[in-house]
């Protein structure tokens, strides 16, 4: 079964750093892009960016460029989304997705709460 | 700020047909990029519903259909069922945003 398993919920304070993960299984991890999607509380879906684990080619949505870092470790079939200094406005659900020409597999999501 | 516009909500009685529009522009849908649709049931992750404008992944009932014309796309649900109550999002690619995927604003479908 093809699946993306995301790391658990996080509660952080403003200014802290964070790295959440997404582990792929059941398919060739290096053959598909992995993307990240943000959903703020009660809001819609926002595209953040993608990475191709095969060669680490990474592309960001203009709205998220410089705000987050997307990376991957193909040796353990895992992609990451990272913040160096969290803000309260980063509070959201974050989904990783397998992306070919569309997002055909979704992780269950990681809730990130940033509060002082 | 999304560049694909959907109605905030649509509703229908069980068995009825509802449609959701997704309006874009010449830099996304109108440029020939495919439109895909996702269904998000309450409290769950989104799921692929329609890909490549009108194709259903295996397991998606044929009550769901998609179409595209010009700078817009539509999702139709025929024979509306209670379990179809969810949020629906269209998605495409936009060449004006440094080459980035974009989602629609989302539509809440309510079964009366």
3-state SS string for chain A: CCEEEECCCEEECCCCCEEEEEEEECCCHHHCEEEEEEECCCCCEEEEEEEECCCCEEEECCCCCCCCEEEEEHHHCEEEEEECCCCHHHCEEEEEEEECCCEEEECCCEEEEECC
User: Does the pLDDT value for residue B99 go beyond 80?
Assistant: no
Position B98 scores a pLDDT of 67
Residue of A nearest to B8 (CA): A44
Residue A63, Cα to own-chain centre: how many angstroms?
15
pLDDT digits (tens, 9 = 90+) for B48-87: 999 999 999 999 999 999 999 999 999 999 999 999 999 9
Nearest to residue A112, comparing CAs of A16, A47, A34? A16
Report how far apart, in Å, the C-alpha atoms of B87 and of each of A4, A12, A86, B37, B78 are.
Answer: 22, 29, 28, 11, 16
Tell me if A44 and B103 make a contact (CB, 8 A cut-off).
yes
Tell me the chain A residues in contact with residue B57 when contact means C-beta distances shorter than 8 Å.
104
Report yes or no: B28 and B93 within 8 Å, Cβ to Cβ.
Answer: yes
Measure A108 CA to nearest chain B CA, in Å. Answer: 5
The chain-wide mean pLDDT, for chain B, equals: 95
């Amino acid at each position: 079964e093809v699946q993306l398993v995301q790391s658990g919920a996080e509660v952080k304070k403003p200014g802290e750093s964070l790295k959440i993960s997404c582990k792929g299984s059941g398919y060739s991890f290096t053959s598909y892009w992995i993307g990240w999607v943000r959903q703020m509380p009660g809001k819609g879906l926002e595209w953040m960016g993608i990475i191709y684990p095969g060669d680490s080619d990474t592309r960001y949505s203009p709205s998220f460029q410089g705000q987050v870092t997307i990376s991957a470790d193909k040796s353990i079939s895992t992609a990451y989304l990272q913040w160096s200094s969290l803000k309260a406005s980063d509070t959201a659900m974050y989904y990783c997705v397998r992306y070919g020409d569309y997002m055909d597999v979704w992780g269950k999501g990681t809730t990130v709460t940033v509060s002082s | 700020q999304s560049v694909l516009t959907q109605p905030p909500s649509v509703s229908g009685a069980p068995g009825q047909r509802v449609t959701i529009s997704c309006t874009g522009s010449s830099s996304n849908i109108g440029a020939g990029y495919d439109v895909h649709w996702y269904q998000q049931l309450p409290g769950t992750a989104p799921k692929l519903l329609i890909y490549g404008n009108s194709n259903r992944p295996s397991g998606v009932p044929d009550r769901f259909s998609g179409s595209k014309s010009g700078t817009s796309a539509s999702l139709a649900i025929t024979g509306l069922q209670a379990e179809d109550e969810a949020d629906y999002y269209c998605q495409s690619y936009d060449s004006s945003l440094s080459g980035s995927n974009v989602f629609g604003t989302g539509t809440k479908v309510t079964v009366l």
